[in-house]
Amino acid sequence: MGTLVMKFGGASVGAAPALTQVLGIVLQEHERWDNLLLVVSALDGVTDALLEAAHLAQLSNRRGYRRIVATLRLRHLSLVEQLPLGVTERNALQADIDRLLFDMLDTCQSLADNPANPRIHAVIDRIIGVGERLAARIVAALLRQNNLRGVAIDATDLIVTDTAFGNATPQMALTRQRIAQHLVPMLTRDIIPVITGFIGATETGQPTTLGRGGSDYTASIIAVAVEADEVWMWTGVDGIMTTDPNEVSDAQVIPLLSYDEVAELAYFGARILHPRMIGPLREHRIPLWVKNVFRPREAGTLIRETEPSSAQGVKAVTIINGLGLTAAYSGPLTAISALIDEALFETTSSRTEVMISAQSSYHSFVCFVIPTSAGPEAVQATQAALEAALARHKMAAEWKVSPVSIITVIGQHLNSHTHVAAEVLKVLKDVRVLGLSQGPTSCGLSLVLAPEEAERALRQIHTMIVSKRPGSAQAPTA
Ligand code: ASP
Ligand code: MG
């Protein structure tokens, strides 16, 4: 039955019990599909540790990065110890782990010797991609031990990207060519490729990464190139939820979402999917499932093109960090936009895509979102970069920068459900709204709030959403 791409996230490859689940899922789906391809992330926490190692190498802190590499080695070797592997598979795997980590240690060493290396971002990508290489080898060995033809494949041989190290974009024509040449022939031999997520390489073979959380994007690139029928993302949660379950305890799984809704969700802060993975799937109409590796029988969330009739107003609410800029001055916003763009690019290598702005006769307010892929420390770094840029351009006296929270209400056709905005504002009657904007896909309504008010607002809006869901006591019965 066609071709399935399954992506396993860090939580599903991070420990032996989870890997047993992975094996069970692969054994079952291998029976059902003609072609199966796997994409794997690094073990959970490993990419963070690798980034830290790269950072310490840059500071020439040799003891620091060596300690990290030693810890990573122990973690991977002890995971291999716990897996039911034969002696040959185990020995080969242990040798592979050592070889990859020694190579990576050499790269750290060369960075420590020459921290002013102008190609620093390329060196960092070489270091931080090793987590996926390790994970792919472990999963492939586990498959082979169970009579499946698992082969670990480094996506550096498949995904050709531009040279935007740290946040590279694939060149699809070349990538398709490589995949047709190297990957597709394996499928006809019943091989299950276990492909490293997150990494690619430039045309000349220099390793790159696709941005944090990029393994999701890898899965969608591979799916498009092999014309997959479906993509399944295996995570540690039951699916895409009405809000972040870490923030609000009664968050619920959403059974069905459109591509537009989920793209908005991912962009505005639901960390569950990489925002850039949705576009290619939407274009090729490949359905996407998000499922829980620990509860594989639960339905999860399906993302596909939905008919307008299945649009049922508000489905989710997200929260994300951003920065707001206020000026006691009203006039053109072009200069400030350029500065914001510059500062954001400097700290996160992302361009500003969304800006919420408001003007009155005396004041201007501009707000932008820090991409979720940029990591939690990005707000502070961007604020500092922006303040420095304002000072450089002698604009610091006019513009004040402060952290804000952006709460986004997600649902299809919000523009034709004007009562939604009214209801949301009613729920927030005692909260000060600094800005309000509806996205161009009309799937998202964003509110800018002071961070100290945001958590309460999120909970209040979520309560409203849950009360309207089908099956809830207060849901409309029509
Ligand atoms: N391991 C990478 C990260 O932590 C990529 C991924 O998990 O998708 O960002
Ligand atoms: Mg992820």
- For 247-264, what is each residue's pLDDT tens digit? 899 999 999 999 989 988
| Predicted pLDDT at 310 | 56
Fold of 314-468: VC0802-like (3.30.2130)
> Is there a contact between 127 and 1 (Cβ–Cβ < 8 Å)?
no
Give the residue carrying structure tokens 């039911």. Answer: 84
Give the number of residues written for the chain: 478
d(CA 171, CA 280) in angstroms, rounded, equals 12
pLDDT score for 477: 45
pLDDT at 203 over 60: yes
Per-residue pLDDT of 53-106, as tens digits, reads: 999 999 999 999 999 999 999 999 999 999 999 999 999 999 999 999 999 999
Amino acid 478: pLDDT: 40
Distance (Å, whole) CA 367 – CA 326: 9
Does 14 sit in the ligand 1 pocket, CB within 6 Å? no
| Ligand 2 mean position, distance from CA 279 (Å) | 16
Residues of the chain within CATH 3.30.2130.10 domain(s) are 314-468
198 CA → ligand 1 middle, Å: 6
Q: Is the CB of 213 under 6 A from ligand 1?
A: yes
Atom of ligand 1 nearest to the CA of 217: 8
How many A from CA of 274 to the centre of ligand 1?
A: 10
Shortest-distance Cα residue to atom 2 of ligand 1:
213
What is the rounded CA–CA span in Å between residue 272 and residue 374? 14
The Å distance, Cα 467 to ligand 1 centre, comes to: 35
Does pLDDT of 457 surpass 70? yes
Q: What confidence category does residue 285 fall into, taking pLDDT thresholds of 50, 70 and 90?
A: very high
Q: Is the CB of 41 under 6 A from ligand 1?
A: yes
Please tell me if the CB atom of residue 347 comes closer than 6 angstroms to any atom of ligand 1: no
Percentage of the chain beyond pLDDT 90 is 71
> What average pLDDT score do residues 364-386 get?
86
CATH 3.40.1160.10 maps onto the chain at: 3-235
In this predicted structure, what is the pLDDT of residue 184?
Answer: 96
pTM listed for this prediction: 0.88
What does DSSP assign to residue 167? S
What are the tokens at 233?
């993302």
CB of residue 193 inside a 6 A radius of ligand 1 = no
42 lines ligand 1 (CB under 6 A): yes
CATH 3.40.1160.10 fits 3-235, yes or no: yes
Q: For ligand 1, say whether the CB of 167 is within 6 Å of any of its atoms.
A: no
Query: What pLDDT digit, counting tens, does each position of 160-182 carry?
Result: 999 999 989 999 999 999 999 99
Nearest to 37 by CA among 169, 224, 167: 224
Task: Tell which wins on pLDDT, 341 or 312.
Answer: 341
Annotate 412-427 with b (16+ C-beta within 10 A) or e (fewer): bbbeebeebbebbeeb
Please give the structure tokens belonging to residue 232. Answer: 């399944």
